[in-house]
A = this chain, B = another copy of it.
């Protein structure tokens, strides 16, 4: 730390070879005679030599780094723990917790793991950015200079910015339809909701079907609504669509509202959090799930597993999504001129207590 960090020159001197040989020991060990190699490695260990990624990147014209650009959370206030003095413990009345919206970051963790694993496996490091504060342009031009390729979560960047950047740097868009001529990997929202909804129709007790659409102009919500539409289309069911925020509160309100007029035989929600809200609303008025009414969600968040009854849902393969994204990136890195590709990943329906298997 305080001492000068050793370089190839130091290692070369110590081992009595040229810097080219030191480099070879790392890049193509088999091209160096065993004895020489061992002498070099000994020097490396003794000196604690670590190759500089910057120098490598500059000489090799590649950074060996991939980037992941997540949606920002500009509203995240820094250091919420400030008000409490060290050693003290604050008590907070949080009984209304379920009503407050959670951040939609729920599965970025999984996504990150997928991207990270695949990157590392391919010999790339991973740089993660959520770019807030400064403008998207600045964030983008910052990482653009650091990486060999970039995975961008849909709607993090404007379509225009994406396709402009894609001209200079391999880019893949995650969980969104391709922004026009750009590689993308998405999840089969429509097919998943269609399959789930068909199952619902098959097992539901009598009564109307309440569909909780997500917010307007969410591509996910749209695709799911389309899938639901395909499932109920032609079926002889009394279907009611209601907008509902993608939150517990949103699902609760929409369901409670509906309950004032009718008793549903099924509530199909476009995401898990609103489904959990629906579950709550039904419980309040004493409707039994799943015997009197089945309930389903979408996403596969953890809370659904622990809900009571546990929530039937469609699980998005976020880890796989991340891995595929990297594969697509690597493909383009290898063959820049390939036509843009779009990949759609299959989903899984998780049948749990709120809408159990048919038998």
Contact = CB atoms under 8 A, between A and B. Distances in A.
Contacts of A348: 81, 84, 89-92
A73 B283 CA distance: 38
A98 B146 contact: no
A51 B357 contact: no
A1 B92 contact: no
B351 A92 contact: yes
Chain A interface SS verdict (over half): mixed
A276 interface: yes
A115 to B, nearest CB: 9
B113 A112 contact: no
A132 B117 contact: yes
A265 interface: no
Given A1-B169, A188-B87, A63 B53 contact: yes
A309 to B, nearest CB: 9
A160 interface: no
B81 A346 contact: yes
A248 B302 CA distance: 12
A81 B324 CA distance: 10
Contacts of A324: 79
Q: How large is the interface on A (under 10, 10 to 19, 20 to 34, 35 or more residues)?
A: 35 or more
A2 interface: yes
Contacts of A112: 109, 112, 128
Interface in A36-55: 48, 50-55
A195 interface: yes
Interface in A263-313: 276, 280, 283, 301-303, 305-308, 310
A345 interface: yes
A340 interface: no
A357 B5 CA distance: 57
A131 interface: yes
Contacts of A120: 129-133
A253 to B, nearest CB: 16
A11 interface: no
Query: Which of A1, A79, A349 is packed against the most chain B CB atoms within 10 Å?
Result: A79
Interface of A: 1-2, 5, 48, 50-58, 63, 65, 73, 76, 78-81, 84-95, 97-98, 102, 105-106, 108-109, 112-113, 116-118, 120-121, 125-133, 141-146, 166-170, 188, 191-192, 194-196, 199, 248, 276, 280, 283, 301-303, 305-308, 310, 314, 317, 319-320, 323-324, 336-337, 344-353, 356-357
